[in-house]
């Protein structure tokens, strides 16, 4: 497992590159529904393996930085005179925070980078016996010529040639030292970070790049990038289709649950509702502890996930669940929520009975549900109603519960 606190990212967005035309630097132009910069930043912020991000802006764009710095995981630094100076500014900013073990350095102009590529670079750095650096690249497949005055003047062997991409990843202390030396000794301003690393004697592994991780350089690159983004939003052509589909819509699930248990004829001292023993003179009949509140809530979660109901997961025919604490069922449903990548936005349960009186026990019920589910108490509602003495609940033959749950994929 990768500890995100050990993975920092420097996004270099300090260029004035206007090769694409117009007067606006390309990182501020729009791509899809965002700017190029916002698109790139969003991908790294969503990457689970990444902790801290340093965004390096041109000093002229300092005013744009405040909005980004408002994110708790983003720090804004001001760039230098050339790319290596800007990268160094980003690395120094990371060094003054909590220095990570590894750092990925990425050009803002590659907004289509995805989780899979980020993961390959990180994995290459964490592998046993890993090199000091790891960077994505694609083997050159086109024929290579030299030319002058619109005439071919020669050919070159493409064997062993690669097209370099970013993010380029390194051990943090090693690349920081390499950039400091390059700055002190006047390195080539055109150098990328692999060049800086190699000049310092670091070895760099090549990991598989991605043709879609294009660097926006020309006007036509914008059109190509728009096309890839649209394809990704549709769920096709992406290695992370599920995660990217929320470009098109947010994944929100609502589920409902309903349960009834009858009172037994024998006298008792309490019933269990939402995990709390509520004093009452009759017990509820049931295979488990007959907790209608937890059963309705658990079924609401299974419903939101479209994963059946309690009866399917915990068959009444199975003796293991005789007298079981129903918290078990809710815990299982919550495990499914987490494994499916959702969080609970809120849950609301209504207990329906004439007696016992529920109101005085509601605070403890909410606290208990918060403990079982790890959902904040202000997102958990428990309330109660009677049926005006109508129907089975009104006649005191049993207790019913209904529940609604909202799940969101963040
Ligand atoms: Mg039940």
For the chain, which residues score pLDDT lower than 70? Answer: 1, 17-23, 235-250, 410
What's the gap in Å between 291 CA and the centre of ligand 1?
7
Q: Which residue has the tokens 């909202």?
A: 406
3-state DSSP call for residue 7?
Answer: strand
Please tell me the predicted confidence (pLDDT) of residue 275: 97
What's the gap in Å between 286 CA and the centre of ligand 1?
7
Please tell me the predicted confidence (pLDDT) of residue 236: 58
CA distance 396 to 80: 77
CA distance 103 to 87: 11
Please tell me the predicted confidence (pLDDT) of residue 245: 45
What's the gap in Å between 276 CA and the centre of ligand 1?
15
What's the gap in Å between 342 CA and the centre of ligand 1?
25
What's the gap in Å between 303 CA and the centre of ligand 1?
15
Residues around the ion ligand 1 (C-beta < 5 A)? 259, 295
3-state DSSP call for residue 148?
Answer: strand
Assess contact for 388 and 394: CB atoms under 8 A: yes
**pLDDT per position as a tens digit, 380-405:** 999 999 999 999 999 999 999 999 99
**pLDDT per position as a tens digit, 212-271:** 999 998 889 999 999 888 888 776 554 444 444 444 456 799 999 999 999 998 889 999
Strand 252-267, strand 398-408: pairing: antiparallel
What's the gap in Å between 7 CA and the centre of ligand 1?
46
What's the gap in Å between 370 CA and the centre of ligand 1?
20
* Backbone dihedral angles phi then psi of residue 222, each to the nearest 5 degrees: -60, -45
CA dihedral 132, 137, 141, 147 (to 10 degrees): -90
What's the gap in Å between 340 CA and the centre of ligand 1?
24
Please tell me the predicted confidence (pLDDT) of residue 247: 47
Strand 168-171, strand 144-148: pairing: unpaired
What's the gap in Å between 297 CA and the centre of ligand 1?
10
* Backbone dihedral angles phi then psi of residue 310, each to the nearest 5 degrees: -55, -40
What's the gap in Å between 161 CA and the centre of ligand 1?
66
3-state DSSP call for residue 331?
Answer: helix
* Backbone dihedral angles phi then psi of residue 25, each to the nearest 5 degrees: -55, 145
* 62: enclosing H helix or E strand: helix 62-69
What's the gap in Å between 261 CA and the centre of ligand 1?
6
Please tell me the predicted confidence (pLDDT) of residue 242: 46
Please tell me the predicted confidence (pLDDT) of residue 230: 83
């Amino acid at each position: 497992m990768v500890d995100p606190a050990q993975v920092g990212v420097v996004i270099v967005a300090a260029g004035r590159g206007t090769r694409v035309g117009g007067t606006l630097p390309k990182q501020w132009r729009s791509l899809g529904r965002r700017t190029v910069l916002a698109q790139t930043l969003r991908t790294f912020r969503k990457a689970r393996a990444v902790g801290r991000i340093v965004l390096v802006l041109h000093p002229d764009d300092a005013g744009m930085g405040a909005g980004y710095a408002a994110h708790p995981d983003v720090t804004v630094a001001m760039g230098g005179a050339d790319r290596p100076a800007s990268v160094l500014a980003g690395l120094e900013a990371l060094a003054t925070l909590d220095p990570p073990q590894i750092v990925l350095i990425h050009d803002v102009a590659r907004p289509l980078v995805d989780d899979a590529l980020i993961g390959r670079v990180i994995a290459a750095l964490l592998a046993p016996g890993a090199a000091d650096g790891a960077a994505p690249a694609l083997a050159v497949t086109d024929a290579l010529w030299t030319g002058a005055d619109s005439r071919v003047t020669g050919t070159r062997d493409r064997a062993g040639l690669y097209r370099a991409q970013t993010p380029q990843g390194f051990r943090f202390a090693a690349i920081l030292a390499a950039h400091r030396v390059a700055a002190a000794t006047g390195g080539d301003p055109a150098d990328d970070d692999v060049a800086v690393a190699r000049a310092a004697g670091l070895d760099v592994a090549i990991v598989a790049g991605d043709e879609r991780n294009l660097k926006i350089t020309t006007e036509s690159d914008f059109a190509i990038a728009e096309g890839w983004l649209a394809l990704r939003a549709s769920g096709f052509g992406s290695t992370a289709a599920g995660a990217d589909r929320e470009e098109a819509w947010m994944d929100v699930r609502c589920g409902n649950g309903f349960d009834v248990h009858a009172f037994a004829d024998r006298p008792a001292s309490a019933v269990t509702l939402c995990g709390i023993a509520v004093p009452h003179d009759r017990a509820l009949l049931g295979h488990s502890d007959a907790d209608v509140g937890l059963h309705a809530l658990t079924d609401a979660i299974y419903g939101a996930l479209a994963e059946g109901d309690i009866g399917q997961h915990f068959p009444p025919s199975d003796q293991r669940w005789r007298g079981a604490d129903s918290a078990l069922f809710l815990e299982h449903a919550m495990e499914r929520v987490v494994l499916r990548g959702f969080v609970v936005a809120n849950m609301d349960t209504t207990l329906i009975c004439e007696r016992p009186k529920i109101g005085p026990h509601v605070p403890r019920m909410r606290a208990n549900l918060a403990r079982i589910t790890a959902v904040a108490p202000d997102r958990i509602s428990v309330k109660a109603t009677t049926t005006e003495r109508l129907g089975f609940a009104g006649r005191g033959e049993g207790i019913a519960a209904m529940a609604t749950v909202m799940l969101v994929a963040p």
